[in-house]
A and B are shown apart, each in its own frame.
Chain A
């Protein structure tokens, strides 16, 4: 009995302490907003899903893996939506999702910063997104804002009426899983 007690206790303590370092999984709640804007075009992506594992105390153990349904784009205008889904822009038939996977999350000032790979239109590029994490009564809200150059991802023809730099605004309410 004594032979196994201390090793078991040690294993239990180790497991318990390891558990405290496991970041919390968050479930994406309704009311999220993935918006984009430029001088000319603007709109939202309606469908967004993924895995958000995040711990304020231990951002290094956190991980984001999210996808946006490219076909869920809504600019508020039917013709523009059709155009945006076409092969000239997002080519949703060939590239149905926009994918972001984090590789590193760090504390940055009053907020955080996630670095990862953003894949749009079949082109994968490293992108760093500053974000904040605010706890609410129901859970928490991730809020971030960053800019991407659409030509880096071969989205649309270079130049033209739509600006190269597209601002992305993200607000994702989450609940604890």
Chain B
């Protein structure tokens, strides 16, 4: 189970990171707000990968402890934690050399949902049923 979940976590994390980079480039070109000093491509990829791996660990543990309800609780938790993590970019203090810090949350907030989005999208390809259906 953990092997499949980890594969899903890594693949979905990587794809979420790629989506984040594409979104960041789009955001830069539309708003002319360059935050690459604090949200570099490598940081976006690595944090998305970390999100995917943490999701894999959480998914495995919850399915082990809660059996049939594990996936339901995991999905809820993943969504809630993604939503709660929005506080981080809102409260984040950028270096004062960067202009227009008010545009920073607009760039980073959508990225916080990419790992969950990628996980939920790709999950059926990796794990059909976390707990065998009777």
Residues of A whose CB lies within 8 Å of any CB of B are 35, 43-44, 46, 74-82
Contact = CB atoms under 8 A, between A and B. Distances in A.
A76 B96 contact: yes
A90 to B, nearest CB: 16
A81 B105 CA distance: 13
A74 B101 CA distance: 8
B93 A77 contact: yes
Contact of B90 (A43, A44, A79): A79
A35 B91 CA distance: 20
17 contacts: A35-B96, A44-B96, A74-B99, A74-B101, A75-B93, A76-B93, A76-B95, A76-B96, A76-B101, A77-B92, A78-B100, A78-B102, A78-B104, A78-B105, A79-B90, A79-B91, A81-B101
Contacts of A82: 102
A81 to B, nearest CB: 6
B91 A76 contact: no
Nearest to A44: B96
Contacts of A78: 100-105
Interface residues of B, number: 15
A43 B102 contact: no
Contacts of B91: 77, 79
A76 B102 contact: no
A76 B98 contact: yes
B117 interface: no
Contacts of A74: 96, 99, 101
Contacts of A80: 93
B102 A75 contact: no
Interface string B91-125: 11111101111111100000000000000000000
Interface pairs A-B: 10 shortest CB-CB? A78-B102, A76-B93, A76-B94, A44-B96, A78-B101, A74-B96, A77-B93, A76-B96, A43-B96, A76-B101
A95 to B, nearest CB: 21
Nearest to B95: A76
A159 B72 CA distance: 47
A43 B99 CA distance: 12
Nearest to B38: A76
A43, A46, A75, A77: most-surrounded residue (chain B CB, <10 A):
A77
